[in-house]
Amino acid sequence: MFNDESLDAFYRLKRMALQFVPEKDFERIEKGSVQLRFQKGETILKQGNIPTNVIYLESGVVKFSYENEWRKNLILTIVSAPKILGGANLFYKDNNLFSIVAVEPCTVLMIEAEILLKVLSTNAKFAMMLYQYASEMFKTAILNFISLAYKQKEARIADIILYLSEHVYHGNSFRLSLTRKELSEFAGCSTENVIMTLRRWQHEEIISCNGKELTINHPEKLKYISKIG
């Protein structure tokens, strides 16, 4: 079922779950799980499909992407491993509201939703924990929509760079997995706006860019740009 490289990640998930469920119940979850790898740009969960799995992101970075009726993409949020993804699928029976797409090579554990639901039905604390994880996944998406609604383009781009630094790459210097187009889809503006803004900030030495490598030299200045909106 799993190769040696995936066992550590599954054991981490197991240690978390065994705080709430008996080992025999977790064995049912394990038997209904499979490890998969996705390359950059591959779709892990597709918008519009009927949900059949809950996804545990073992390694990598993914985007939650929504395509509207005019085929325009909007990135709802970006998350890095380890994370439980798609847990909200257990709490409604509608089609997937968005896609989950790899923005760098990812390894995931696909957990069969029906088996997990049966375990949750007899383990209320585990169900509450998973619900909290699912709710947390949408927190950043909601905050991003607030930013889109009330802030100017430059402030939105500042919010995105700060979010990536603090919650995805966990540092002021990082290798950016997203393209400039994806940054624009996350910030709700044009690719040209993103390029010009980053170029101006680089000239002002707020950030440094070298290809995909990005360093925030003055995070307090980005926070001020975000604050004034």
In the chain, the number of structural domains is 2
Q: Are residues 130 and 165 in the same domain?
A: no
Pair (130, 219) in one structural domain: no
- Whether 187 and 118 map to the same domain: the answer is no
126 shares its domain with 158: no
Structural domain of 209: 151-228
pTM of the complete model? 0.82
pLDDT score at 51: 78
**Do residues 27 and 128 share a domain?**
yes
CATH code at position 51: 2.60.120.10
* Same domain (yes/no): 157, 140: no
197 shares a domain with 137: no
Beta strands (DSSP E) in the chain are 33-38, 43-45, 53-59, 61-67, 73-80, 83-85, 99-102, 106-112, 173-175, 207-210, 213-216
What is the domain-level CATH number for residue 198? 1.10.10.10
User: What is the C-alpha separation between 122 and 71, in angstroms, rounded?
Assistant: 42
Q: 211 and 116: one domain?
A: no
Residues 61 and 166 in one domain: no
What 3-state DSSP class applies to 61?
strand
Whether residue 219 is preceded by a cis peptide bond, meaning omega within 30 degrees of 0, is no
Q: Is residue 38 domain-shared with residue 93, that is, in the same domain?
A: yes
The two tokens of residue 72 are 């325009």
Q: How many CB atoms lie within 10 A of CB 23?
A: 10
Point out the residues of the chain with pLDDT beneath 50. 1-7
